[in-house]
Amino acid sequence: METTDLCFTPATELAAMIRSRTLSPVEIMDAVLARIEILNPRLNAYLTLDAERAREQAKAAEAAVMRGETLKPLHGLPVSIKDLEPSAGLRCTYGSKFFEHNIADFDGMVTARVKAAGGIVFGKTNTSHYGYKDMCDNLIGPPCRNPWKLERTSGASSGGAAAAVVAGLGPLAHGSDGAGSIRIPAALCGVFGLKPSFGRVPNWPNADIWAARSHNGPITRTVADAALLLGVMAGPDPRDPTSIDSPPEDYLAAVARPLEALRGLRVAWSVDFGYAPVDPEVRRLTAAAAERFQSFGCEVEAVNPDWDNPREPASVMWYVSFAARLGERYDQRPEWFEPSLAEMIEAGRRISGVQHGQAQLARTVFYEQARRFFERYDLLLTPQMPLGAWSVERGPSTIEGKPTPSMFDRLNFTFPFNQTGQPAASVPCGFTSEGLPVALQIVGRWHADRLVLQAAAACEQAAPWAQQRPPV
């Protein structure tokens, strides 16, 4: 197999070749690291690499295969970790100047589970400052760029992870999602991203556990690869008291025959929730993808959910969280904070305790509205992002002719499901006239991760996307 083709081969296929001894973990690691050496200076997808140790671990994985040892699910596969999670012995910056030279001395929960499953953690992917926004730049170094058009953003905050996967810089990537941070870059880069149910994958360490908002999940080229990684990441952990206290399902087996699970389902399609601006090209492409569910045997209905716009309470809680967590450091070194993050912190400081409490009450009301809506439907389909990737330097000023002064103006389809904790997946569904990826969002009922993966797998079977490669 050509080296480039190897870098774009799905992880499930790589795992099968490792087990059959037709491919060595050393060959995979060498191919990925060589491609990173060529492309990362242009993309800035990785903040840190551990090439020497990764090659040593790949050799050890190869030796285990040759000895006939029982192999674990990720044996010998390269896995990247977003730089908001510590991985022992690797630099962990959190996208912050305060931690530019910080070396982690322990493994976060996802890193530990990946290693226990035989995966090789070889690098930390780029992210915005503590993941505060949907563009992947920070004050440590150059921004992460979109492999489809280098002058465009990769999205964020898991921007490095999505850019790496679509450019062939590693088959399996960890991401995290507090307001869309898995789904945003997955959509803008044209890969698959899953925000599992809240608590499906424990979140540790986490300074703000009781915010009940952030989800760990996979970013991959294929749905099966995401199912493979989710099966490793999922499962309870007492260090996260909000984690779901049940073992993970066999997600990989579930996506093998997805259509059987979809026949007869009630599926809602909402192009704009009745209030969200959406680019006309995105409307057309996502509507066509949603209509395809009829061929899967589903009953598809165009709807306006008629629920409250959760933007105001969500932004209040977002600003207060960053003011509480980062305010002291902001006072110490304000020059180490991006202007937009500084504005969020200042906004958070102006919000009273009563206003924050009212936002939490509004979140409860919104959850109940969404829960009642999903009594009538099994799945909800929406556009994922309302436009293709915008400039790497600044956010778009308008969408569909409407002003978009705030980050939350372009996240109308993401943060609502962090507020409810429901599983949601970003599925590639075409390209704009500029050649930029567009994605459909699939949202499931409470804890319906399996069904969301099966719906995504059906989309992939009907209109595959993994063969598409960016021009870098």
Tokens of 90: 């690797």
Q: Residue for token digits 């990737």?
A: 389
- Proportion of the chain above pLDDT 70, given as a percent: 100
Mean pLDDT of 465-472: 97
Q: Helices (DSSP H) in 51-134: which residue ranges?
A: 51-66, 109-116
Dihedral of alpha carbons 258, 185, 29, 77, sign:
negative
Write the DSSP assignment of 137-177 as a string of letters: --SSSPPPEETTEEEEE--SSSHHHHHHHHTTS-SEEEEEE
Which residue is catalytic, options 96, 128, 157, 426?
A: 157
The band of 73, judged by pLDDT with boundaries at 50, 70 and 90, is very high
What value, to the nearest 5°, has the Cα angle with vertex 267 and ends 265 and 272?
A: 175
Mean pLDDT of 234-258: 97
The pLDDT, as a whole number, for residue 2 is 87
Mean pLDDT of 218-229: 98
Cα 349 to its chain centre, rounded Å, is 29
Average pLDDT, the chain: 98
Q: Exposure of 209 by Cβ count < 10 A (0-12 exposed, 13-18 middle, 19+ buried)?
A: middle
Domain ranges of the chain: 3-462
3-state helix, strand, coil in the chain (%, to 5): 40, 15, 45
Mean pLDDT of 285-305: 98
Mean pLDDT of 268-283: 98
Residues 177 and 215: their CA atoms lie apart, in Å, by 5
Q: Helices (DSSP H) in 249-310: which residue ranges?
A: 251-254, 259-262, 280-291
Does 157 qualify as catalytic in the annotation? yes
Which residue is catalytic, options 24, 80, 82, 176?
A: 82
Tokens of 437: 């990826």
Choose among 199, 193, 119, 206: nearest CA to 161.
193
Mean pLDDT of 116-127: 98
Does 181 qualify as catalytic in the annotation? yes
Q: CB of 236 within 8 A of CB of 245?
A: yes
Mean pLDDT of 429-458: 98
Check whether 54 has a pLDDT greater than 90: yes
Which residue is catalytic, options 158, 181, 197, 214?
A: 181
Write the DSSP assignment of 186-236 as a string of letters: HHHHT-EEEEPPTTTS---S-TTGGG---EEEEEESSHHHHHHHHHHH-S-
Check whether 1 has a pLDDT greater than 90: no
Mean pLDDT of 263-284: 98
Kindly give the pairing relationship between strand 120-125 and strand 78-82. parallel
Check whether 212 has a pLDDT greater than 80: yes
Mean pLDDT of 196-210: 97
| pLDDT single digits (tens) 250-270 | 999 999 999 999 999 999 999
The band of 218, judged by pLDDT with boundaries at 50, 70 and 90, is very high
The pLDDT, as a whole number, for residue 443 is 99
SS3 456: helix
The pLDDT, as a whole number, for residue 323 is 98
Q: CB of 219 within 8 A of CB of 110?
A: no
- Say which CATH architecture domain 3-462 belongs to: Alpha-Beta Complex (3.90)
